[in-house]
Amino acid sequence: MEALPCQGCKGLCCGPVPVTEKEYKMIHKKLKALPKKLRDDLKNQPRMFGTCIFYDLHKDQCGIHSVRPEVCRAFGYHKDLVCFRKPELATKETLTFKETHIGYLSIDFTWKHF
């Protein structure tokens, strides 16, 4: 699968995303396992309002990449999740979720939940 040209976007498309209970638990586990310094560094970054609370501005990438929610993995590759920098990659059918969502990261779940 061709990669999206995300470098330099600084989390442009990373806003509030829906999570399932399983995803929430995996993120929780990942963050608990992070050394305090790394965790605090990620937590205290000065993000723009609306940017995902887990976007790592210093590294210019997702701060929880290995456990990012399904919608983040799918972004850019489905007809309903088009990246404007590479719209030709959005060829898959509309994303359908198998599990129900329990809320949105950055809105319902913020750093105080993790």
Q: Please give the residue ranges that form the binding site for ligand SF4 (CB under 6 A).
A: 4-6, 9, 11-14, 17, 52, 54-55, 62, 64, 68-69, 72, 75-76, 83, 85
Query: Closest approach of Cβ 2 to ligand SF4, in Å?
Result: 12
Query: 5-8: long-range contacts at Cβ-Cβ below 8 A with a sequence spacing of 24 or more?
Result: 5/85, 5/86, 6/61, 7/60, 8/60
Residue 5 or 40: the one with the smaller Cβ distance to ligand SF4 is 5
Nearest approach, Cβ of 21 to ligand SF4 (angstroms)?
16
Which CB sits closer to ligand SF4, 3 or 93?
3
> CA 27 to CA 31: how far, in whole Å?
6
Query: Judged by CB, which is closer to ligand SF4: 31, or 72?
Result: 72
Question: Are the CB atoms for 93 and 78 separated by under 8 Å?
Answer: yes
Are residues 91 and 81 in contact, defined by beta-carbon separation less than 8 angstroms? no
